Structure formats: structure tokens, C-alpha cells
Chains A and B, each alone.
Chain A
Amino acid sequence: MTPDKLEELESLLLDWEDGTLDEPGRKRLRDLIRSDDEARAHYVRLQMMNAVMSLDGEAGIPPTATAEAINGVTETVGNAGTQQVHVRSESSSVKPTRWMLTAAALLIGVLAGRLVQVELSSGIDKPDELGGSIITAEERDLTKEATSQGVALITQLVDVEWASDQRPLDVGDALLPGRFAIASGYAQVEFFCGATVILEGPAELDLQSPLLARVRRGRLRAQVPPAARGFSLEVDDMTVVDLGTEFGLSVTDDGANVQVFDGEVELRQPARKTRSLTAGRAVVRHKDGAFEEAVMAPGHFVDIESLESRVQNQQENRFQRWRAWSEEVRRDERLIAYYAFDRKDDRSRRLSNSLEPSNSELDGAIVGANRVSGRWPSKWGLEFKRPGDRVRVQIPGEYSSLTFCCWVKIDSLDRWYNSLFLTDNYNQGEPHWQILDTGQLYFSVRPTEQGDKGPRDHKALSPKFWKPSLSGRWLHLATVYNTAAQSVTHYLNGQVLSRETIPAVQVVTKTRIGTATLGNWSQPTQPDSSFAIRNLNGSMDEFILFAAALTDGEIRGIYDYGRP
């Protein structure tokens, strides 16, 4: 049976399982299964897998459970079953008829519930092994721990198009064991052992461990410093073991091409002599296992230096794209304030506002905060590291709906309240925008004057968005306060985190800012007040405040244009 016929069989079977296969399709599927032994074996394999997954599914065993956890579950219940049989046989040894009834009852149990069968069966195979109890919290944690392990990090992505079944990833994401596939572009992957692999799409890897990956197809260059010696790549049944070097590997349907640029690699395969390949040599291994000398072509394998220049190119392009967009936005009449952080040569302690036509009244005063690199090398940001670091602004006027957007790089959320933008005090109509230490975005507007009786403020909290792996990455945060729709919507990286309706009495239709602070909270000076540390432990690059409720699409656009 040819590979495309096997694929056709798989595809038809998927439709059959889904209940969407018509009679001509069923006939074709039968013809394919009938065609030869290989087709029948393959069909039965798929069905067995299907049966096992549905049995486990009905037994409530999730696909993430480990084999050990399942052994534990099934063996324990199995033991109980065995014991039951045993105890009953003792009590019934006098009266065979009663024993018959018991056995029949057991059998009916077997007939009635497949759950019982699943659990009994694999247990009776090993009756003397003791397992744990039915999926305990402890076992769940074990499962969790196993799946949260990474084996490598993505350190660069250039012009990457993801394979259709690959969840898009970002630079800085950890890779778990499993498939990693790109349709085009370049990805630099650093294995935890220290080996760096530059992958050129289309390519498909199967990550196994910090030291091992399977290459299904694609072209890559691996750089393996001495500390990472032993890093291996598998192609079919051949293992390319690195002895501290730099090499290229290209895998196609015809075979594998290995080229050693520096150092030495070993080519291991079952039942054959291990071949060693030294610098300047290249071989092609055909599908049948035969080797053939090949011509070196180091230029075909992108190296770190040329990837770096592509990265710079991409960054420059994205920066220019953002700049063009930013020039547009400055004229948006809905703007209240816009700080683009884009005047690179600006050494003063002033944060120029970016409105067009310009209005220097809205410029901010930088207190403490240091200038750091922004989302791109051509741009800067401000780091609020010490408890006093802040930017003071004075924004007059009265508004209704408001939209807050900013790019931030959070080091950690170690304050109870981590400030983004807060008015001094917290008077009637004044908004406070911050992040709680729980990792939730937090927005509120005070509806009454201090001391007045009346409704309390509505505290709009997003679900927890923060996790430590986001540390040090540029994130886009936005919150829309819509007084007409009486709602608050929080966003992370252009996606809605939460949208909630505010009870009518808590909606504040007249909002104002006055004196306010970016990256911190400034209470009015009171000699006896020791104020809480609320600075943002991180950096900010771009802050926009609109006197309107922006749509989901607009927020998405701001994120897309500003993405580093």
C-alpha cells in the first residue's frame, strides 16, 4: 500500500469516526482496507488505539496522566476486585449455589459498567503489586510537574510562519517535550544542555529531552559548546551524536545530509558500525541506510551571525512599522495623553508627550526612574525599580469613557499593588489602574467624594494573567472603561482577559485625572504618613490614554503594530 493510500485510509476513517462519511466514502474505505495485509494491519492499529483512548476516557483517565499514575489506579481497584472474589469464595464454600449467585452478580457488574472492567482487568494481571489510591491530589501534582518541564527555549524567531497544528510561540517561551514545527522562517532554539539549534522552515522536530531531539524534516545548524557534548539528534534509526562541534543536518524524504563544520560527530545506527565524521566532511544517508560522500555546502545552513543580522533587520522593520503607526495615532482626536518614549537623544528629565499638535503642558516629570532600552534598540523605556521611581503628570479636563494602554516589562509583582497609572489621592471621578500581586489587572473609579455616603467604587479585576515565565517580556496591557455600556474590559496582548458590567449606581459618567503618576502612586505629602511601596517593579515603554472606549479591534491593532 502506497503512503498516500494509507493517508487516504486515515482521513476516511477520521470522517467515519466523526459520523460524516457518506456511502461512497465508506465503500472507498472498505476497498482500501481490503486491498492488502498492510492496510488491514494499519486499520486495526488505528482502531485499537481508538478503543484504548475511549476506554480510558470513560474511566476518567485524562491523556496527561502518567503510566505510573494509571498503574496505581488500576492496580488498586484491581486488588479490591480480587480480594472481593477471594472473600466471597471463602464465605460461599459451603453453599455453592449462593456462590453462583455472587459470581453472577459480579458478572452482571462486569456487563453493566465498563468502568469496572477497565479497572479490574489490568489489576488482576499483577495481583500482588500495591498501588496508590484513586487519583490522589499527590498524583495530580506529579502529572502537573511532569508537563510543566521544558527542555529548551526559543531565543529568536525570524519571519516564522507556524505549521497549521503548531500553537504560535514567542521568543522566551519554553518548549516542552513534543512536536515543534514551523512552516517557514527561522527559529533559534537553545536546549537546556547548552546546544543551540537554528532551524529553517519548513521543519519539524520532536523534542525528547534537553539532550535529544528527533528531526522529522527540515534543515538545521547545531552549535554545541564543550559543556553540551553528547547532544544528539535522531533521524529515523540513526543517531547523530555531537562531540563538541558545529554541524549541519538536512532531512528530506530521500534521506539525511550531515555536514561537519567544526569538530567531530558520530553517526550511530543499530547493528552497524558507528561512523565518525570530522570537520570538512559531509555524507548523505539514504533511506535504505546506505551512506554516500557528499559535497560540503556550509552556506546552505544559516549560522548564528547571519541569523542575528536577520533579527536586526526584522527589528528595524517592526520599529519602522510602529513609528509610522504612531505618527498616525498622535493626531487621533480622542487622545488625552500619549507618551511614545521615542525621543532617543532626549537626555532631560522630561517625558515629552507625543500629541499632535504638541502641547508641552502635558509633558511628564521623570523622578528617579532610569532610561533603559525599549522594545527595540532604537527606542527607550523607563525602569521603575526603586520605591521612589515615578513619572509625574498633570492632565486637566473632564471626560467620560476612558481607555488605558501601555507596554510594560514586569520583572516581578512583589508589591501588593503594582502601579501602572494612578491619580494622586483617589477622589470622585478619579481612575486607578494597577496590578495586584495575585497577577490580576485592577481598575476602579471612585463614584463619591471622600467622606460622602453613597455607593462604593466598583473594583474590576481581570482573571490572573501573570505567570513567572512572562517576567522580562514586553507585554501590552489595556483597560477600557465604557460608561455608555457600563462595562470594564481588560486586555493582555490584544486579547480580552475579561469584560464585566458595572452596576448602574457605581458607574461614574464624569471622570477626571488632574495630577497623577505613571509607574507609582503619589499620595499628597503628609508629614506623618509612611506610604506603602507601590512602584511597578519593571519598565514601561509607551503609554496612551484615550477619552473614549476603544473597540476590541482597535486594542488588537495597537498591540499588533506595537509588538516587538
Chain B
Amino acid sequence: MAGPEKTEHFVQQLATHQNRLHGYVFSLLGDHTRTADVLQETNIVLWRKIDEFELDKPFLPWAFAIARFQVLAHLRDQKRDRLLLDAELAEAVSAEAERQAGHLEELRHALRPCLATLTAGNRDLVERRYFRAMSIADIARDVDRTVSAVKVALLRSRRHLSECIQRRMLAEGEL
């Protein structure tokens, strides 16, 4: 059984890296519901394996390894027709996902000033689609534009955000 000091440290580490694990799992699954499920399983497995966790070793690589295993198990269990990546492709993407998930908090902070450089209209579309998970059809109806016009605007905005974030992270030396 783990001692109180170790448990405390473990819980702290788990909380600290929760978003990074979330980003990692999401980038391999591309689905919010599945990500919540797999992340929960990952947390439970990590908790069960607390004895393997060593205080002087970095938490994150260990946690990523377990998350990766959970993702692959999930992908193998599911019917292929509803998945984005298959297990093989997820394996191929995993290293890059780990690398980028490690910088997730930096990305999160770079995102803010970049959102501010979008036009108010485009920011509204991004908010509806990505912050509030509205479907494009619903957004198009609400803002009285065609589905394809909303798609074009979203694609441009996302391209703009992605470039802006990269520039900022490069400038901050975070990439």
C-alpha cells in the first residue's frame, strides 16, 4: 500500500496532468464522449497501479503509456465503422500526440490572444462550434447563413488560430 506522502503526490500529479492526458486521448479518438470514458478508465488504472508509481520518476510518461494502452484497447474493442483512427494509425500518431499534449497548457494560454484577433463574427462561430459543441447545421440556422458559408468561415478561423498559436508558441520558445 502506498503511504500518505506518495498518495498525496500522486493525486497532485494526476490533477496537474489531467488536461494533458485529456488532450492526448482526444487527439487519438477525436470524440469527446469516448475521450471522457477512456480518460476515466485511465485514471482508475493509474490509481490501481499506484504501487508502480515512483516518486522520483516523472509522472507524465508513465501516465501517457497507460493512457495509450487504454486507447488502443478501446479502439480494438469498438466496431471500426464508428471510429476515426484505427488502432494501427493511433499507434503511429501516439508519439506526436504525447509531444504536443505535453505543451497543452502553453497552447491553452496562447489560444486567448489568438481568439481576440478573430473578427467578432468568426469568434462567435468558433464559440458555438468548439466551446459549446453546437452542430454546424444548428449554427447556420441561428446565424442565418448557409451550412457551407459557416464551414468556410470555421475552416478559415481554425487555420488562422492554428497559425497564430504556432507563431506565439514559437516566439515564447515553447515549441
Question: CB-CB < 8 A to B1: which residues of A?
Answer: 100
Question: CB-CB < 8 A to A41: which residues of B?
Answer: 96, 100
Contact with B along A44-59 (1 / 0, CB 8 A): 1111111111111100
If over half of B's interface residues share one DSSP class (helix, strand or loop), that class is named, otherwise mixed; here it is helix
B119 within 8 A of A: yes
Question: CB-CB < 8 A to B35: which residues of A?
Answer: 51
Q: Which size class do B's interface residues fall under?
A: 35 or more
Please tell me if the beta carbons of B85 and A33 are within 8 angstroms of each other in the complex: yes
- With contacts A16-B84, A62-B127, A120-B15 known, is A54 near B133, CB below 8 A? yes
Question: CB-CB < 8 A to A62: which residues of B?
Answer: 127, 131
Please tell me if the beta carbons of A125 and B100 are within 8 angstroms of each other in the complex: no
B7 within 8 A of A: yes
Nearest opposing residue in chain B for A118, CB measure:
B19
Question: CB-CB < 8 A to A29: which residues of B?
Answer: 84
B17 within 8 A of A: yes
Rounded to whole angstroms, the CA-CA distance of A120 and B15 in the bound complex is: 6
Question: CB-CB < 8 A to B154: which residues of A?
Answer: 14
Q: Which listed residue (A49, A110, A146) contacts B158, Cβ 8 A?
A: A49
- With contacts A44-B97, A52-B107, A117-B19 known, is A103 near B7, CB below 8 A? yes
Please tell me if the beta carbons of B96 and A40 are within 8 angstroms of each other in the complex: yes
Q: Which listed residue (B14, B36, B97, B122) contacts A165, Cβ 8 A?
A: B122
Q: Which listed residue (B8, B116, B162) contacts A46, Cβ 8 A?
A: B162
Please tell me if the beta carbons of B18 and A166 are within 8 angstroms of each other in the complex: no
B105 within 8 A of A: yes
- With contacts A51-B104, A121-B15 known, is A165 near B93, CB below 8 A? no
Please tell me if the beta carbons of B119 and A43 are within 8 angstroms of each other in the complex: no
Please tell me if the beta carbons of A40 and B162 are within 8 angstroms of each other in the complex: no
Rounded to whole angstroms, the CA-CA distance of A482 and B58 in the bound complex is: 74
List which B113-149 residues lie within 8 A (CB) of chain A: 113, 115-123, 126-127, 129-133, 135-136, 149
Q: Which listed residue (B16, B126, B149) contacts A121, Cβ 8 A?
A: B16
Please tell me if the beta carbons of A48 and B104 are within 8 angstroms of each other in the complex: yes
**Smallest CB–CB gap between B114 and chain A, Å?**
9
Nearest opposing residue in chain B for A216, CB measure:
B160
Please tell me if the beta carbons of A63 and B126 are within 8 angstroms of each other in the complex: yes
B32 within 8 A of A: yes
Rounded to whole angstroms, the CA-CA distance of A43 and B26 in the bound complex is: 12
Question: CB-CB < 8 A to B84: which residues of A?
Answer: 16, 26, 29-30
- With contacts A33-B85, A51-B104 known, is A10 near B19, CB below 8 A? no
Please tell me if the beta carbons of B92 and A34 are within 8 angstroms of each other in the complex: yes
Please tell me if the beta carbons of A114 and B3 are within 8 angstroms of each other in the complex: no
Question: CB-CB < 8 A to A120: which residues of B?
Answer: 15-16, 18
Contact with A along B82-94 (1 / 0, CB 8 A): 0111100100110
Please tell me if the beta carbons of B126 and A89 are within 8 angstroms of each other in the complex: no
Q: Which listed residue (A67, A99, A122) contacts B113, Cβ 8 A?
A: A67
A452 within 8 A of B: no
B43 within 8 A of A: yes
Nearest opposing residue in chain A for B40, CB measure:
A111
Rounded to whole angstroms, the CA-CA distance of A51 and B22 in the bound complex is: 7
Question: CB-CB < 8 A to B96: which residues of A?
Answer: 37, 40-41, 44
Nearest opposing residue in chain B for A165, CB measure:
B153
B55 within 8 A of A: no
Rounded to whole angstroms, the CA-CA distance of A18 and B140 in the bound complex is: 13
Rounded to whole angstroms, the CA-CA distance of A365 and B107 in the bound complex is: 67
Question: CB-CB < 8 A to B67: which residues of A?
Answer: none
Question: CB-CB < 8 A to B129: which residues of A?
Answer: 17
Please tell me if the beta carbons of A52 and B104 are within 8 angstroms of each other in the complex: yes
A81 within 8 A of B: yes
Question: CB-CB < 8 A to B162: which residues of A?
Answer: 45-46, 49
Please tell me if the beta carbons of B85 and A53 are within 8 angstroms of each other in the complex: no
Please tell me if the beta carbons of B93 and A85 are within 8 angstroms of each other in the complex: no
A496 within 8 A of B: no
- With contacts A51-B23, A114-B36, A125-B16 known, is A167 near B120, CB below 8 A? yes
Question: CB-CB < 8 A to A55: which residues of B?
Answer: 19, 22, 108
**Smallest CB–CB gap between B77 and chain A, Å?**
18
Rounded to whole angstroms, the CA-CA distance of A65 and B112 in the bound complex is: 7
Rounded to whole angstroms, the CA-CA distance of A408 and B126 in the bound complex is: 36
**Smallest CB–CB gap between A70 and chain B, Å?**
7
Rounded to whole angstroms, the CA-CA distance of A164 and B129 in the bound complex is: 18
B75 within 8 A of A: no
26 A-B pairs within 8 Å (CB atoms) are namely A10-B155, A11-B155, A34-B89, A41-B96, A46-B158, A47-B23, A51-B22, A54-B133, A55-B108, A57-B132, A63-B115, A70-B112, A99-B4, A100-B7, A103-B7, A110-B18, A117-B18, A120-B18, A147-B120, A165-B149, A165-B153, A166-B119, A167-B120, A178-B118, A178-B120, A208-B117
- Taking A57-B131, A164-B149 as known contacts, 18 extra A-B pairs with beta carbons closer than 8 A to each other, sorted by chain A number, are A16-B84, A23-B81, A30-B86, A44-B27, A45-B100, A49-B161, A52-B19, A54-B133, A71-B109, A100-B1, A121-B15, A147-B120, A164-B153, A167-B120, A178-B116, A179-B118, A179-B119, A179-B160
B residues apposed to A, CB below 8 Å: 1, 3-4, 7-8, 10-12, 14-19, 22-23, 26-27, 30, 32, 35-36, 40, 43-44, 47, 81, 83-86, 89, 92-93, 96-97, 100-101, 104-105, 107-109, 111-113, 115-123, 126-127, 129-133, 135-136, 149, 151-162, 165-166
